[in-house]
Structure 1
Amino acid sequence: MNTNRRAGLLRAWLRRLPVGAPTDDAGLKRVLGPASLMALGVGATIGAGLFSLTGIAAGSNAGPAVIISFALAAIACAFAGLCYGELAGMLPAAGSAYVYAYASLGELMGWIIGWDLVLEYTVGASAVSVSWARYMRSLLDEWGIHLSPRLMASPFEVVGMADGQPVHGLANLPAVFVIMALSLLLMRGISESARMNAIVVAIKLTVIVAVIACGLPYIRVENYTPFIPPNTGEFGHYGISGILRAAGTVFFAYLGFDAVSTVAQETRNPGRDMPIGLMGSLAICTVVYITFSFVLTGLVNYHDMIGDAAPVATAIDQTPFGWLKAAVKLGIICGFLSVILVLLLGQSRIFFAMARDGLLPPMFGRTHHNWGTPVACHLFFMAVTGVLAAFLPIEQLAHMTSIGTLLAFVIVCVGVMVLRVREPDRPRVFRVPGGMVIPVAGILSCLVMMVSLDALTWLRLVGWLVIGLVVYGIYGVRHSRLGKVMPAMRPKD
């Protein structure tokens, strides 16, 4: 590669979206207000991280101290959420951290974080759909409807024994079904999807209040001893390192903040409403998480939660409220729908924004003439997310999602710092208080949790980003809309 070629590539990688430029709505309808944004945030946030990963993180990593893990994750998320609020007011466009990185750090970093967000939302929706399928199976069993376990589990999961040999699942078909149904609803329109989300969020919060109220009298104090189990000698297996590993895992539970920011271009007043939606949903979810995990670990000993992806069903079995068991499971199943819905919504808007900027094929940047939704994006991710849900177990999916979320949050915090230096006089509807303190704290806290995740999770992330760089090198860098506007910055053959 000659000098001119290298210089051209470098200029292309560093070209930035102009901050404060008029936003092209591209057919998206501005219909969301602060209440809808908070409902989207709560809908995406309270789900698998609470109902499923609480048991996994408590049983395998932190014990009863998973309460501390949720608090640590909330603090890190608050730092990042404030940074999201500042950037959302400056850049009220679909795309979330992808747009923020593109405007502050350049096209290459924008592409990297956009590609990372695709992984985050796709894998996240898959993980929640797997958990939804497990609760659905439990409920159907109570009703006397027994489906083949092999059709409700991935090939990596053992569902029984036959002739002394383990029997593995074939594919998780219920998880695929729910992804298809919600994808079709999202294609129909954002207003219809927001109304359904509000209904299932109300059901979900009712279930949580019922579990807390009915479970409190039956807490066994001995289940909190030891509150921080001693480390077994392996990093992340109890002790302080276990709390950190669990915090990195349950950070998946705070995915809703990303999802809120992806719909800025469909918000009536994003500069004002985005910070309200982001921080309001964080406050609600943090109180719910800490209270709920306290009750859950008091009802069920953490040893009994190892590998249990449906710990709430196990906890209800410790109470005499037989009538509540089926109702709780049904409420949880309905609640999971809002999580999957918002994650599918978020990933389609990221892909849409990248295509709108020319970094992906133009078919993904078009909206339906009547529905005002990016139908091609929804169809594409319906297929990809469905395949992941059918063939991968929830534990691996959750870890992949957590590291993607943390990386996105780090980039957002860096973006705030960069724009504070590059454009200090740019009007900001909302400004993160304390100067650079909160962005730096957000970066450090997220990096600590990223380091606590296992090496295999890191390898998956690196592999995904390498694939993304190949796609960008082959297509994105040559078709960038910004490159066409600024031809001098385009790399030459």
Structure 2
Amino acid sequence: MIKKPIETLLRESKEEGEHSLKRSLGPVNLILIGIGIIIGAGLFSLTGIAAGQHSGPAVTISFLIAALGCAFAALCYAEFSAMIPVAGSAYTYSYATMGELFAWIIGWDLALEYAVGAATVAISWSQYLTKFLSWFDLYLPPQLTLSPFETAKAANGEVINGIINLPAALIVILVTSIIIRGTKGSALVNAIIVTLKVGVVLVFIAVGWSFINPQNYHPYIPQNTGVWGDYGWSGILRGAGLVFFVFIGFDAVSTAAQEAKNPQRNMPIGIIGSLLICTVLFIVFAHVMTGMANYKEFIGSGAPVAIAIEKTHYQWLSKAIVLAILIGYTSVILVDLLGQSRVFFSMSKDGLLPKVFSEIHPRFRTPWKSNIVLCTFIALFAAFVPIRVVGEMTSIGTLLAFVMVCAGVLILRKQQPDIHRPFKTPLVPLVPILGILTCFAMMTFLPGDTWLRLIIWLAIGLVIYYTYGKKNSVIRRMLADKHQRY
């Protein structure tokens, strides 16, 4: 199994000039990138679902357990990103520890997290935009907000067929134009967006705190019904499995390693800091939400946060939450597109993808052609594919990457124990093993058709690898040249 030497990766991390990415991100930028992708609509929907169906008020414990599970993987990402500060994230770490084939599988798998994830979020963004505009008596025609495979029913009962989800495509194009103009500018836009959406969450907490009814916390851990996962401690664990997916996304920070200043120090701060801040915010949010309304009121609700807001009689808060989701989704799309282009940048430099994905803009120092190609595919995907097809594929792709990174820490600790590690994952091998077990357990919660789509996606990737990537691999060519000389 051909591996990429750590020494080669370290040389790449020190490259400078017009053909390399510009290091412009400090620790605050990196933390905000993490917060930008972690906080999304899942916080407002999954919190109530987990409380109503599984955990009750003890959903706060579910969040704590889920955060602990994510922390195992986050610590492994922190070790790698500080040690090998290049753009490829899990792809690069797998190349160094498991070899080229595994690296390709993870690189292709990451497209599920970033590219497909961006398209999925763009479709949801379009739905929330339509809802937000309707409050002001502004209506977009269904033909321009639905894919050709979706329909809507008019007030007179007429069935309207979708043509194109235009808002979804336009938000992808808009965000791509921001990313192309430079990582520093993208980070500034992300910082503004994160400030706004965190502000709305804090407003909800501040307003809701005065409407907390202590009786809603009793019993804090509802008695189990006799069915595993229906309240009790098993319900807390089932709730943790559900809210685990709210935390997914912190790994995107590692894709910015080659654009971070002092990455040996700042990458662990960015990854762990963003996860820690979001954990505290989520637990307080869940505490307030379950205090405002009895957890039983959330059962079967499609919009549980709206039930809590009704207790305040402040209907403007509902609009603020939807606005926060809209803003939040924009930052998720931004970080997803940023992460995907950086992974493909690394794969292209290794020869596994065409050179167009690693060409750097002479002025902006960004992989602009890669951004344009990805924008085209993702915008078309968002415009013409219904969201139900891709909904859970993003999560399974991310979890597989987590498993591989945790395994990579174990492998490299054994193969190269003396290599300089600016940040070390504590309690090895315990933490990486717990990370592998936790993430794999979360994968088992996903339905069978999601696994099938993952297998099909990876099979397509293997065809591309054996027909293009393997033949054009830079490492393979270097080894072949060395073999011919000797």
State whether TM-score is above 0.5.
yes
Does the C-alpha gap of structure 1 residues 415 and 188 become closer, same or farther in structure 2, counting only changes over 3 Å? Answer: same
1:16 aligns with 2:9: no
Which residue does 2:476 correspond to in 1?
Answer: 483
Which residue does 1:259 correspond to in 2?
Answer: 252
Which residue does 1:191 correspond to in 2?
Answer: 184
Distance in 2 between the 1:472 and 1:18 partners?
22
Which residue does 2:33 correspond to in 1?
Answer: 40
- 1:330 positional shift: 2.6
- Which deviates further from its counterpart, 122-131 or 270-279? 122-131
**Contact 1:16–1:105 under 8 Å retained in 2:** no
- 1:129 positional shift: 2.3
Which residue does 2:165 correspond to in 1?
Answer: 172
5+ long unaligned stretches in structure 1:
1-12
Equivalent residue letter for 2:11: P
**Contact 2:360–2:366 under 8 Å retained in 1:** yes
Distance in 2 between the 1:55 and 1:387 partners?
33
> 1:352 pairs with 345, 355, 368, which one?
345
Does the C-alpha gap of structure 1 residues 59 and 389 become closer, same or farther in structure 2, counting only changes over 3 Å? Answer: farther
- Which deviates further from its counterpart, 286-295 or 349-358? 286-295
Does the C-alpha gap of structure 1 residues 431 and 477 become closer, same or farther in structure 2, counting only changes over 3 Å? Answer: same
Distance in 2 between the 1:127 and 1:470 partners?
25
> 1:449 pairs with 432, 437, 442, which one?
442
Equivalent residue letter for 1:147: L
- 1:239 positional shift: 7.7
Which residue does 2:101 correspond to in 1?
Answer: 108
Does the C-alpha gap of structure 1 residues 291 and 157 become closer, same or farther in structure 2, counting only changes over 3 Å? Answer: farther
- 1:56 positional shift: 5.6
> 1:470 pairs with 458, 463, 468, which one?
463
**Contact 1:69–1:244 under 8 Å retained in 2:** yes
1:424 counterpart SS class: coil
2:337 counterpart SS class: helix
Equivalent residue letter for 1:372: R
Does the C-alpha gap of structure 1 residues 15 and 307 become closer, same or farther in structure 2, counting only changes over 3 Å? Answer: farther
Distance in 1 between the 2:164 and 2:233 partners?
37
> Per-residue displacement from partner, 1:113-165 (whole Å, max 9, x unpaired)?
11111111122222322332233222212212122345334566664367878
Which residue does 1:413 correspond to in 2?
Answer: 406
Which residue does 1:3 correspond to in 2?
Answer: none
1:403 aligns with 2:392: no
Distance in 2 between the 1:295 and 1:156 partners?
40
**Contact 2:257–2:263 under 8 Å retained in 1:** yes
Distance in 1 between the 2:151 and 2:299 partners?
18
**Contact 1:359–1:472 under 8 Å retained in 2:** yes
- 1:187 positional shift: 0.8
> 2:205 pairs with 195, 202, 212, which one?
212
Does the C-alpha gap of structure 1 residues 278 and 35 become closer, same or farther in structure 2, counting only changes over 3 Å? Answer: same
Which residue does 2:91 correspond to in 1?
Answer: 98
5+ long unaligned stretches in structure 2:
none
Distance in 1 between the 2:387 and 2:234 partners?
22
- 1:94 positional shift: 0.5
- 1:76 positional shift: 1.6
Once the two structures are superposed, the pairs formed by residues 274-289 of structure 1 within 5 Å of their partners are: 274-289=267-282
1:262 counterpart SS class: helix
Once the two structures are superposed, the pairs formed by residues 82-481 of structure 1 within 5 Å of their partners are: 82-154=75-147, 159-160=152-153, 169-219=162-212, 221-222=215-216, 247-299=240-292, 306=300, 308=302, 311-313=304-306, 315-392=308-385, 394=387, 397-481=390-474
> Per-residue displacement from partner, 1:219-253 (whole Å, max 9, x unpaired)?
465598795686797x9888877766654554333
Distance in 2 between the 1:155 and 1:65 partners?
42
Which residue does 1:76 correspond to in 2?
Answer: 69
**Contact 1:248–1:450 under 8 Å retained in 2:** no
**Contact 1:47–1:128 under 8 Å retained in 2:** no
Equivalent residue letter for 1:103: A
Equivalent residue letter for 1:123: V
- 1:96 positional shift: 0.4
Distance in 2 between the 1:261 and 1:43 partners?
14
Distance in 2 between the 1:153 and 1:64 partners?
37
- 1:259 positional shift: 1.0
Structure-2-length-normalised TM-score:
0.88
- Which deviates further from its counterpart, 79-88 or 332-341? 332-341
- Which deviates further from its counterpart, 159-168 or 44-53? 159-168
1:429 counterpart SS class: coil
**Contact 2:148–2:162 under 8 Å retained in 1:** yes
- 1:50 positional shift: 1.5
Identity %: 48
- Which deviates further from its counterpart, 335-344 or 50-59? 50-59
Does the C-alpha gap of structure 1 residues 302 and 187 become closer, same or farther in structure 2, counting only changes over 3 Å? Answer: farther
Distance in 2 between the 1:170 and 1:306 partners?
32
> Per-residue displacement from partner, 1:330-376 (whole Å, max 9, x unpaired)?
33322322121111100111111111110001111111111111112
Once the two structures are superposed, the pairs formed by residues 49-60 of structure 1 within 5 Å of their partners are: 49-55=42-48
Equivalent residue letter for 1:22: R
Distance in 2 between the 1:238 and 1:472 partners?
46
- 1:404 positional shift: 1.1
**Contact 1:247–1:449 under 8 Å retained in 2:** no
Equivalent residue letter for 2:131: S
**Contact 2:216–2:290 under 8 Å retained in 1:** no
**Contact 1:64–1:302 under 8 Å retained in 2:** no
- Which deviates further from its counterpart, 279-288 or 238-247? 238-247
Distance in 2 between the 1:352 and 1:374 partners?
7
- 1:64 positional shift: 5.6
Equivalent residue letter for 1:18: I
**Contact 1:64–1:297 under 8 Å retained in 2:** yes
Equivalent residue letter for 1:258: D
Equivalent residue letter for 2:165: N
1:486 counterpart SS class: helix
- 1:15 positional shift: 2.8
**Contact 2:30–2:267 under 8 Å retained in 1:** yes
